């Protein structure tokens, strides 16, 4: 079943945070989710080591360049959602994971320098499409944006991406304390204490919007595939 890969050569772009937020939201809705923690620093495994991981979510940490394709295929045969969190460099592991993706999400903060890093990830996706002779759907996810203000630079980056036919998710990952807090305390947004973490409600709505949009995109991509083969 669908494999969602979080990729961007930029460290700190929001890959691991967004991957865990999406994974926990899907798991909370009852879906079985496997997260493949393909970053040697193992950020997702550290989160999973804290209390409160949903029972329907498992993390696979023992993946390597040699095993990642088999690991993705084995997980995808078993559960409805496989999410891969990658390290922030270009490596064979990153290329292999992208080659097996049903959707690559490229998290990007809203500056021109960050957008240039996103463009590198997109070039790699397009290379993998040619190497493997298949279309690999992808979308940019703007991260750490302000929920209150819409800076001109962000608007400019969005428009530039649209001009270049780079799909950008409507949902942004806003800068929220709650998205950091799940890595400190473990568990899901719903298990955080609203008295201790500000903006929790808004963070939950943000996570829901992300999950809904990603599931819709995957359905659209699956429909396209059936139409092509039919």
Ligand X SMILES: Nc1ncnc2c1ncn2[C@@H]1O[C@H](COP(=O)(O)OP(=O)(O)O)[C@@H](O)[C@H]1O
Q: How far is the CB of 18 from Mg ion (least distance, A)?
A: 9
Nearer to ligand X, 3 or 8 (CB): 8
Specify whether the CB–CB gap between 75 and 60 falls below 8 A. Answer: yes
Applying CB under 5 A, which residues contact Mg ion? 15-16, 43
What are the E-state strand segments in 90-182?
Answer: 103-109, 138-145, 173-174
- Give the nearer residue to Mg ion in terms of CB position, either 15 or 158: 15
Nearest to 23 by CA among 13, 37, 33, 15: 33
Pick the closest to residue 16 from 50, 34, 41, 52 (CA basis). 41
Closest approach, Cβ 85 to ligand X, in A, equals 7
Locate 172 and state its tokens: 């942004």
Residues forming contacts to ligand X in the complex (CB under 6 A) are: 11-17, 43, 88, 107, 143-144, 173, 175-176, 179-180
* Closest distance to ligand X from the beta carbon of 157 (Å): 17
Query: In terms of CB distance, is 96 or 158 closer to Mg ion?
Result: 96
12 contacts which partner out of ligand X, Mg ion, none, CB within 5 to 8 A by kind?
ligand X
40 binds, among ligand X, Mg ion, none (CB under 5 to 8 A by kind): none
End-to-end CA distance of the chain: 19
143 binds, among ligand X, Mg ion, none (CB under 5 to 8 A by kind): ligand X
């Amino acid at each position: 079943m669908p494999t969602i890969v979080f990729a961007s050569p930029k460290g700190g772009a929001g890959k691991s945070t967004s991957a865990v937020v999406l994974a926990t939201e899907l798991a909370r809705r009852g879906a079985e989710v496997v997260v493949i923690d393909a970053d040697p620093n193992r950020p997702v495994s550290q989160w999973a080591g804290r209390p409160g991981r949903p029972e329907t979510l498992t993390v696979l940490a023992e993946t390597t360049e040699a095993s990642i394709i088999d690991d993705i295929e084995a997980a995808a045969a078993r559960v409805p959602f496989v999410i891969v969190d990658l390290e922030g460099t270009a490596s064979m592991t990153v290329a292999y994971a992208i080659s097996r993706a049903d959707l690559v999400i490229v998290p990007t903060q809203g500056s021109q320098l960050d957008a240039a890093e996103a463009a590198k990830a997109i070039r790699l996706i397009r290379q993998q499409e040619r190497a493997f002779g298949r279309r690999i759907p992808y979308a940019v996810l703007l991260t750490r944006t302000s929920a209150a203000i819409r800076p001109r630079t962000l608007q400019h980056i969005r428009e530039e991406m649209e001009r270049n036919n780079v799909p950008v998710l409507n949902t942004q990952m806003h800068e929220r304390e709650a998205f950091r807090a799940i890595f400190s305390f473990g568990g899901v947004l719903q298990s955080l204490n609203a008295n201790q973490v500000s903006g929790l409600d808004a963070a939950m709505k943000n996570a829901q919007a992300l999950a809904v949009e990603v599931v819709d995109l995957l359905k659209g991509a699956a429909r396209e595939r059936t139409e092509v083969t039919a």
